[in-house]
């Protein structure tokens, strides 16, 4: 077990690193962070800040030197670098999960191999291959870069063969997959966390509302039937067991009208849709993540009350500041990012409530989150 007083190294200095770090510091751990930018959200709260590119060998050696255990807050780390690091330092999550989740081709294949459902899909290394194979999939479909896409970037929805050329530029960056468009009714996410001894728990399941492909709201518990919640949890457990998870895995899913589930994608780290757990659960995703990577026994999560989390993007910061005094029940989190660029995740607000619909209206009527 890694104990208070020892140092947790975090690769990535964004908000996820910051919230992991804050959770760890409560218990008396020391935090070291590696991030290329000065004054990063996690750098601000860390004991040791290493400012260098993620593949800088000297910086990685320094991180190894000062850390008793190393974790990461995002999946687009160089896999070879992480693999090497895991051979030289204690990285309980390993590198394999990152290899799989940073490439949609590997990710889809792994979900299938775990026995969980994915949308029908094809893979293509070149645009020509896509053109040759597309009849086997049909329309509407979504073409996504295999590598490097997030928040709807690197993907194109195609309604018919005439639009196929719109996907051509995606191949400049990476191979692609094309997957059938899923006519889902709801999007939900299951965050599952597991320690090296194999003990695992899921957080209460969130229903996610996106705007412009970016998470806008998470509503917990998700407004779906109990049988759907149970099915979703079973699928997440299957995937986590197949992957030999240590740490945190967020499993994003589509729920169809008939209650069936299709897995969309995986993230091997704490997830935006789990931020609500800081206030609304007896253990947050960040505390549980730290327990898992430090080899502590995990706590079974319980939800205190129904909750809504709303993201605060760059354009919402000013209006939030203007109206904040009217909402003493809102828990406000801002991540310490200097520049409030449009669409940049700057913070979030968590609201516990005994009336989800009324609170959704209150959020809408606040005027902070105009479209
Ligand atoms: P992703 O980057 O894969 O998470 O996709 C971003 C968003 O696009 C998802 O949250 C969905 O709202 C939508 N989306 C992605 N894939 C599909 C699909 N196969 N069918 C329908 N909507 C999709």
For 138-189, the DSSP string reads: -SSEEEEESBS--TTTTEEEESSGGGGGGGGGGGGTS-EEEEEPP--SEEEE
**Is-contact 236 245, C-beta < 8 A?**
no
Whether residue 111 lies inside any domain: the answer is no
Q: Which atom of ligand 1 is nearest to the CA of 180?
A: 19
Report the nearest-CA residue for atom 10 of ligand 1. 213
Q: Tell me, what CATH number does 167's domain have?
A: 3.30.1490.20
User: Is the distance from the beta carbon of residue 182 to the nearest atom of ligand 1 less than 6 Å?
Assistant: yes
For residue 338, say if its preceding peptide bond is cis, omega within 30 degrees of 0. no
Whether residue 255 lies inside any domain: the answer is yes
Question: Distance between CA 8 and CA 293 in Å, rounded?
Answer: 9
User: Is the distance from the beta carbon of residue 265 to the nearest atom of ligand 1 less than 6 Å?
Assistant: yes
Pocket test residue of 255, 264, 271 for ligand 1, highest count of atoms within 8 A of CB: 264
Residue 45 DSSP one-character state: G
192 and 158 in a common domain: no
User: Is the distance from the beta carbon of residue 142 to the nearest atom of ligand 1 less than 6 Å?
Assistant: yes
Q: Cα of 254 to ligand 1 centre, how many Å? A: 9
Whether residue 241 lies inside any domain: the answer is yes
Q: Residue 344, by phi and psi: left (phi above 0), alpha (psi -120 to 50) or beta?
A: beta
Question: Distance between CA 55 and CA 39 in Å, rounded?
Answer: 19
354 and 279 in a common domain: yes
310 and 230 in a common domain: yes
CA angle 288, 6, 48 (to 5 degrees): 95
Question: Distance between CA 133 and CA 118 in Å, rounded?
Answer: 18
Question: Distance between CA 273 and CA 344 in Å, rounded?
Answer: 16
71 and 52 in a common domain: yes
Whether residue 158 lies inside any domain: the answer is yes
Domain end call among 159, 180, 201: 180
Q: Cα of 149 to ligand 1 centre, how many Å? A: 11
User: Is the distance from the beta carbon of residue 266 to the nearest atom of ligand 1 less than 6 Å?
Assistant: no
- Domain holding 128, by residue range, is 120-180
142 and 32 in a common domain: no
Question: Distance between CA 368 and CA 318 in Å, rounded?
Answer: 8
Q: Cα of 185 to ligand 1 centre, how many Å? A: 12
pLDDT value of residue 151: 64
Whether residue 295 lies inside any domain: the answer is yes
pLDDT value of residue 268: 97
Q: Tell me, what CATH number does 82's domain have?
A: 3.40.50.20
User: Is the distance from the beta carbon of residue 210 to the nearest atom of ligand 1 less than 6 Å?
Assistant: yes
Q: Cα of 309 to ligand 1 centre, how many Å? A: 20
Centre a 10 Å sphere on the Cβ of residue 113 and count the other Cβ atoms it contains: 11
Q: Are β-strands 155-158 and 247-255 bridged in parallel, bridged antiparallel, or unpaired?
A: unpaired
For residue 319, say if its preceding peptide bond is cis, omega within 30 degrees of 0. no
349 and 306 in a common domain: yes
84 and 42 in a common domain: yes
190 and 172 in a common domain: no
User: Is the distance from the beta carbon of residue 148 to the nearest atom of ligand 1 less than 6 Å?
Assistant: no
Q: Cα of 224 to ligand 1 centre, how many Å? A: 19
Q: Tell me, what CATH number does 286's domain have?
A: 3.30.470.20
Residue 116 DSSP one-character state: -
User: What is the H or E stretch that residue 62 is in?
Assistant: helix 57-66
Only one residue has tokens 């995703």, namely 285
Extract the runs of DSSP E, i.e. beta strands, from 37-88.
48-51, 69-72
Q: Cα of 265 to ligand 1 centre, how many Å? A: 9
Whether residue 197 lies inside any domain: the answer is yes
331 and 284 in a common domain: yes
347 and 205 in a common domain: yes
* Count of domains observed in the chain: 3
pLDDT value of residue 150: 67
Residues of the chain with pLDDT under 50: none
Burial label for 177, CB within 10 Å (0-12, 13-18, 19+), is buried
Pocket test residue of 104, 108, 138, 142 for ligand 1, highest count of atoms within 8 A of CB: 142
Q: Which atom of ligand 1 is nearest to the CA of 144?
A: 3
Burial label for 239, CB within 10 Å (0-12, 13-18, 19+), is buried
| Tokens matching residue 271 | 């997830």
pLDDT value of residue 173: 85
pTM, 2 dp:
0.97
**Is-contact 169 206, C-beta < 8 A?**
no
305 and 203 in a common domain: yes
Q: Which atom of ligand 1 is nearest to the CA of 153?
A: 2
Centre a 10 Å sphere on the Cβ of residue 192 and count the other Cβ atoms it contains: 21
Report the nearest-CA residue for atom 2 of ligand 1. 152
Q: Cα of 264 to ligand 1 centre, how many Å? A: 7
Q: Which atom of ligand 1 is nearest to the CA of 104?
A: 3
256 and 143 in a common domain: no
Q: Are β-strands 30-35 and 7-11 bridged in parallel, bridged antiparallel, or unpaired?
A: parallel
Q: In this predicted model, what pLDDT tens digit does every residue of 290-346 receive, in sequence order? A: 999 999 999 999 999 999 999 999 999 999 999 999 999 999 999 999 999 999 999
């Amino acid at each position: 077990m890694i104990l208070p007083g020892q140092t947790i190294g975090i690769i990535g200095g964004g908000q996820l690193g910051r919230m992991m770090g804050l959770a760890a510091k409560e218990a008396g751990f020391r935090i070291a962070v590696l991030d290329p930018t000065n004054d990063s959200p996690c750098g601000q709260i860390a004991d040791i800040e290493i400012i260098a590119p993620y593949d800088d060998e000297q910086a990685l050696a320094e991180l190894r030197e000062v850390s008793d255990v190393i974790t990461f807050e995002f999946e687009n780390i160089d896999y070879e670098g992480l693999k090497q690091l895991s051979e030289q330092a204690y990285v309980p999550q390993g590198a394999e999960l990152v290899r799989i989740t940073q490439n949609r081709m590997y990710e889809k294949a792994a979900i299938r191999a775990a026995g969980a459902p994915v949308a029908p899909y094809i893979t293509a290394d070149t645009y020509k291959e896509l053109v040759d194979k597309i009849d086997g999939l049909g329309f509407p479909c979504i073409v996504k870069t295999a590598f490097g896409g997030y928040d709807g970037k690197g993907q194109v929805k195609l309604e018919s063969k005439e639009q196929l050329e719109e996907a051509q530029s995606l191949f400049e960056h990476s191979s692609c997959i094309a997957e059938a468009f899923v006519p889902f009714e709801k999007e939900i996410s299951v965050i599952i966390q597991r320690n090296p001894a194999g003990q695992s728990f899921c957080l209460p399941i969130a229903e996610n509302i996106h705007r412009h492909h970016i998470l806008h709201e998470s509503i917990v518990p998700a407004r779906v039937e109990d049988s759907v919640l149970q099915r979703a949890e079973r699928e997440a457990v299957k995937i986590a067991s197949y992957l030999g998870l240590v740490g945190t895995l967020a499993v994003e899913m589509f729920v169809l009208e008939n209650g069936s589930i299709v897995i969309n994608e995986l993230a091997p780290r704490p997830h935006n849709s789990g931020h609500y757990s800081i206030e609304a659960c007896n253990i947050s995703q960040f505390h549980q993540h730290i327990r898992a990577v430090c080899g502590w026994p995990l706590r079974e999560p319980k939800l205190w009350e129904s909750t809504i989390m709303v993201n605060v993007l760059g354009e919402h910061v000013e209006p939030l500041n203007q109206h904040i005094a009217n909402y003493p029940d809102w828990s406000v989190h801002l991540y310490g990012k200097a520049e409030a660029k449009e669409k940049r995740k700057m913070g979030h607000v968590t609201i516990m409530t005994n009336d989800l619909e009324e609170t959704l209206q209150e959020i809408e009527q606040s005027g902070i989150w105009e479209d």
